Amino acid sequence: MAGGSPSQPRQPQPVEANRPVIRAQHLTKKFGDEIAVQDVSFDVPRASIFGFIGPSGSGKTTTVRLLTGVYAPTQGAVTVLDRSPAQFSQADRARLGYMPQLFVLYPNLTVWENLNFAASLYGMSLFRGKRLKEALAFVELEEHRSKLARNISGGMLRRLSLAATLVHDPELLFLDEPTAGIDPVLRHKFWGHFRELKSQGRTIFITTQYVGEAENCDLVGVQNNGKLLLVDTPQGIRHHAYGGEMVDFRTTQPFDFQAEARLRALPFVRAKTVRTDANGMRIIVDQASTATPALMDWAQQQNIQVQSVEEYVPSFDDVFVELVRPEASHA
């Protein structure tokens, strides 16, 4: 990464090695009669990237505020770094970094002065210049340190926000929509930053409405209308959405209905298959890697000329739509 990276995070407090960094148990938050978050439970393991995806208004930010102690839950319990957020000391909070959607900057202060002010809020030593330089280098803002905040671009403001989140060397990061409103190139750079932070042993809880970003996470929670539909790996979520993996099977001649029926009857083919055109079928199978050679063998036995057999990997946008369509079955 250009410019280096912040120093290694402080060593975690001595807790059980396998205990999750974050544990949410049946979290519910109501505002009057409105239920913003309903019966949400999940664990976040140490040194992982946990993505919390869903559309705007699905309860992602409310969940982050429950995890950081900004809100108290109406029902349920949460532990973060082996403590309840309601019982956090100043030292506990210094182990966290929180990047909100709207980061408050002082437009008449320079980039350096804004970052220095953020460091002072964490009670960092007056001899903190080295840490400020490291944080600016990590987000590639060194050459802009003397610019007034009002004169830098929106993308630079987001990078400054990330630097302010990292400046006190936290071990657990809460990033609420950190890539919202930035261009694809900068979004790609941000994910490079996040992966580097994970490699240093930090744990990252990140919310995003760009569901395609789930591919970059170790675990993903899918949230919709305040409900957590499921938590799994990216591949596991795809499998859950469609009931298996997908294979595109194309022949040189159009499929007749009898051949299609025989194909559907194969033991590793799920009931759900879709014609892509006269010569092609998109098939749901248990496992694409084993189904591909089996399909080739079957076609040879049936005297069917195969043009191609390859795994089809749907986008996470398509996966999310598939998950929320029959919401009741996944809740």
List, for residues 191-211, the tens digit of each pLDDT value: 999 999 999 999 999 999 888
Q: Which of 46, 61, 58, 51 is nearest to 16 (CA)?
A: 46
CA–CA gap between residue 124 and residue 135 (Å, rounded):
14
Mean predicted confidence (pLDDT) in 155-180: 93
pLDDT of 271: 67
Bin 116: left if φ > 0, else alpha if -120 < ψ < 50, else beta: alpha
pLDDT at 329 over 90: no
pLDDT tens, 37-86? 999 999 999 999 999 999 888 999 999 999 999 999 999 999 999 999 99
pLDDT tens, 90-136? 889 999 999 998 878 899 999 999 999 999 988 888 788 999 999 99
CA–CA gap between residue 270 and residue 264 (Å, rounded):
7
CA–CA gap between residue 276 and residue 6 (Å, rounded):
49
CA–CA gap between residue 250 and residue 312 (Å, rounded):
12
Mean residue pLDDT across the chain: 89
Q: Which of 299, 272, 296 is nearest to 284 (CA)?
A: 272
pLDDT of 172: 98
Q: Which two tokens stand for residue 311?
A: 């795994």
User: What order do you get walking across the sheet with 34-44 strand by strand?
Assistant: 34-44, 22-31, 75-80
Please give the single-letter amino acid code of residue 17: A
Residue 110: CB atoms within 10 Å: 17
Residue 93: CB atoms within 10 Å: 16
pLDDT of 125: 80
Mean predicted confidence (pLDDT) in 258-268: 90
pLDDT of 211: 87
pLDDT of 330: 42
CA–CA gap between residue 1 and residue 5 (Å, rounded):
7
pLDDT tens, 215-252? 999 999 999 999 999 999 999 999 999 999 999 999 99
pLDDT tens, 269-310? 986 778 888 899 999 999 999 999 999 999 999 999 999 999
For residues 157 and 104, the model is more confident at: 157
pLDDT of 328: 41
pLDDT at 11 over 80: no
For the chain, count helices (H), then strands (E).
11, 13
**Residue 100 to residues 20, 62, 73, 165, Cα–Cα distance (Å):** 23, 11, 19, 9
pLDDT of 257: 84
Q: Which residues of 27-52 are buried (b: 16+ CB within 10 A; e: fewer)?
A: bbbeeeeebbbbebebebebbbbbbb
CA–CA gap between residue 82 and residue 15 (Å, rounded):
7
- % of residues, the chain, pLDDT over 90: 72
pLDDT at 5 over 70: no
Residue 112 phi, psi dihedral angles, 5° rounding: -60, -45
pLDDT at 255 over 50: yes
Q: What angle do CA 46, 48, 53 make, to 5 degrees?
A: 125
Is residue 306 helix, strand or coil? strand
pLDDT at 312 over 60: yes
User: What order do you get walking across the sheet with 306-312 strand by strand?
Assistant: 269-277, 280-285, 245-251, 306-312
CB 176 within 8 A of CB 99: yes
pLDDT of 105: 86
CA–CA gap between residue 241 and residue 170 (Å, rounded):
35
pLDDT of 326: 58
Least confident interval from 20-24, 167-171, 274-278, 282-286: 274-278
Mean predicted confidence (pLDDT) in 301-323: 92
Ordered by where they begin, the domains of the chain are 22-232 (3.40.50.300), 242-330 (3.30.70.1560)
pLDDT at 168 over 70: yes
First to last CA, the chain: 40
pLDDT of 313: 92
pLDDT at 12 over 60: no
CA–CA gap between residue 236 and residue 141 (Å, rounded):
38
